[in-house]
Chain A
């Protein structure tokens, strides 16, 4: 309390709960001399009236409070000049208002810190901004539509999920949610990460590739490393693998395989290395189906809003044939055959101006009639092209149909997707002159719409005779379309 040779006198605290005191009478005036412990002022508090002894000897330099004035405890009420200071002239009478309270808690502390800014990012409900590298096209799921569950359920992002998404630079929209309301849980994220960012057992769309330019290829349908599918590829891949060029000169361009390409390559190789690939071809007279289609197409459009194509016919015929020849709808596991009692039909779809391929899966296709299959095919194809398929819709296939015939190919030897034992190529329907025999046994040349169906199958499980008979059944189904069984 001494400032150099100036000593402050303060209002004392006479009791724990006392917060102020009143000056009742100054015992000294400015300029008077005073001894230490001599009474300098009389005060009154709500507990007691008392005299305050001077803390020092010297001359009264200033009196800072008036008689009758009440001031808070610890307020400076007087200043004593001791020693040399006693002989200095007093400053001009204080301009300070009486009882200027220089509280020990100084006023400059009162400027309040600016209110902390509300945290901007990371509100629950907003998916965190995934730092997807670069613009790559197909590899990113552009749309934000919730893939499954209600929008609200999926919209809630728990703290740990938010953190993991940020740490691993993931896009939540690529991750299926198994939590309440379709919420993406920690386990979902972890599973996604564990699967290499590709669709795994509950597959998700793969993470964006590392290279900027991911031209041409959509992410393969079931590029899963483990059990399920390798992407179903037509024998001639629709597009060249095209990661961004690393080295370019006049003579050649070199593209490093991106992740998707690597996976495809691996799966293709693995499938060929594992399954005993054999392809059998059968020729089908599709004239009846063509006529049916022509006839039903407007009705379908009108009644169901669906564009009827040939594929649903083939699908329906195939599913029925599977019913009689179930071993083509199976999986080889080691030395066991797992015969599936349901048909999850993979339907290859060309996307990206036929430079890409996806194979969405119609689950439980055996439950669908032609209308159902038509709808599914159209819907899945549309959504494949707009990249709005869910991971469930990209996985779990038990039998695959591919349709390079759409490009005019006649015959193919497709590679069987992993986890399946057969794949059916539907080739182009071509009008050709063929020999037809009428009911009397007379032969004639007729113009018929003919189509090759090519079945690649795994000879570890399926023998040639079996496969051939399966195909024969498909052929028969298509050639003698039973409108009642397979119709509207």
Chain B
């Protein structure tokens, strides 16, 4: 018994213009998605070459969902993206070389080697670094929204979690508090249908995770996560609603996790047919086709963008490799903050 609204797909360029996206924006979205995928593909190779320690996670198939939401955020909004949301880091302006440095555990990464893979964020870009115990960042996002409301600021917090993490109490408490206090926050559930090897049917009992929003007193929307424009439209709507004092929204962005939970996982448990079906709905492919159909992108421009992205990533890898490995002496630094670190505008 579904309760949440299912978002209708974006049909026309008209709709897109109404959503405040011009040609530049549309190209930028495409570029961001390419960079996102490129970083992860490149990183995967580096990982298999032994240049990246630990584990390697990708959000292949989630590029549209991530970039779509991030594009709808304003500059002084904040977010708590998770491991499938590389696109958020890219769209908010994180430099690719720093992402590679992060993967490689170099000093130039946002965590300077203290944490790895996607446990990174630059707070100056309005992003808060995730932890492994998901969705622990949802209460944190709720707290950001609480601060905005208390100060009367027109800023919005966006909190991400996955279809598995949504089963934990943190999600419930965060959403409940947000609903009770009518906070300016948008909850994003990246529902890629598998939490490691656990399919949705073993993860929750409702038809849609977005159905839960009603239990907290706000609206839930189910969105085709492979459709970047629809994602953008819904995210834009929800974010602006929150900004205007309309309270929280829960957006469930449905995709399929196209690679394993991490790249060491070959995801044998995902049916081939499902993978093939979603392969055909690849967000970047879809979007590229639409751009071409709308004559926003042609072959020449496409090649130019591809070459540019490739060069960007090659340079980024090289720059990351030049970033120094952290000194063992740095181990003990930063356990505690100094008073001087407060009251510096670490968020613009």
Residues of A within 8 A of B (CB): 1, 10-16, 18, 37, 45, 47-53, 55, 73-74
Contact = CB atoms under 8 A, between A and B. Distances in A.
A17 to B, nearest CB: 9
Given A53-B48, A73-B50, A74-B50, 13 more contacts: A10-B49, A12-B50, A15-B263, A15-B264, A15-B265, A47-B264, A47-B266, A48-B264, A51-B48, A52-B48, A52-B49, A53-B45, A55-B51
Contacts of A53: 45, 48-49
Q: Is the interface of B mostly helix, strand, loop or mixed?
A: loop
11 contacts: A11-B50, A12-B48, A14-B47, A14-B263, A16-B54, A18-B264, A37-B45, A45-B264, A51-B48, A52-B48, A74-B50
A14 B264 contact: yes
Given A18-B264, A47-B264, A48-B265, A12 B53 contact: no
B29 to A, nearest CB: 28
Nearest to A49: B266
A64 to B, nearest CB: 14
A313 B45 CA distance: 109
Contacts of B55: 15-16
A51 B264 CA distance: 12
A49 B48 CA distance: 11
Interface string B49-70: 1110111000000000000000
B215 interface: no
Contacts of B2: none
B262 interface: yes
Nearest to B47: A12
Contacts of A49: 266
B45 A48 contact: no
B291 to A, nearest CB: 28
Nearest to B48: A12
Nearest to A53: B45
B242 to A, nearest CB: 38
Contacts of A73: 50
A45 B263 CA distance: 12
A14 B48 contact: yes
Q: Which 5 A-B pairs have the closest CB atoms?
A: A15-B264, A47-B264, A12-B50, A10-B50, A48-B266
Contacts of A18: 264
A12 B264 CA distance: 11
Contacts of B50: 1, 10-13, 73-74
Contacts of A74: 50
A373 B70 CA distance: 105
Nearest to A39: B48
Contacts of A1: 50
Contact of B49 (A12, A15, A47): A12
A55 B265 CA distance: 23
Interface in B225-279: 260, 262-266
A132 to B, nearest CB: 47
A55 B49 contact: yes
Nearest to A10: B50
A448 B94 CA distance: 122
A12 B55 CA distance: 11
Nearest to B42: A37
Nearest to A52: B48
A237 B36 CA distance: 105
Nearest to B49: A55
Interface string B35-50: 0000000000101111
B335 to A, nearest CB: 24
A102 to B, nearest CB: 14
A18 B48 CA distance: 13
Of the listed residues A15, A45, A74, the one surrounded by the most CB atoms of chain B closer than 10 A to its CB is: A15
Contacts of A10: 49-50
Nearest to A45: B264
Contacts of B51: 55
Nearest to A17: B264
A352 to B, nearest CB: 65
Contacts of B49: 10, 12, 52-53, 55
A49 B47 CA distance: 14
A41 to B, nearest CB: 11
Contacts of A52: 48-49
B48 A15 contact: no
A49 B49 CA distance: 14
B30 to A, nearest CB: 24
A16 B54 CA distance: 5
Nearest to A14: B264
Contacts of A15: 55, 262-265
Interface string B307-328: 0000000000000000000000
A72 to B, nearest CB: 12
Given A47-B264, A47-B265, A48-B265, A13 B53 contact: yes
Contacts of B265: 15, 47-48
Nearest to A74: B50
A12 B46 CA distance: 10
A37 B51 CA distance: 13
Contacts of B262: 15
A53 B266 CA distance: 18
Contacts of B264: 14-16, 18, 45, 47-48
A235 B120 CA distance: 94
Interface centre among B48, B54, B55, B265 (most CB of A within 10 A): B48
Contacts of A13: 50, 53
A322 B263 CA distance: 104
Contacts of A12: 47-50
B177 to A, nearest CB: 34
A47 B263 CA distance: 9
A99 B53 CA distance: 21
Nearest to B267: A48
Nearest to B54: A16
Interface in B284-336: none
Contacts of B45: 37, 53
A51 B53 CA distance: 17
A15 B265 CA distance: 8
A14 B54 CA distance: 8
Nearest to B266: A48
A53 B263 CA distance: 15
A45 B264 CA distance: 9
A12 B56 CA distance: 12
Nearest to A75: B50
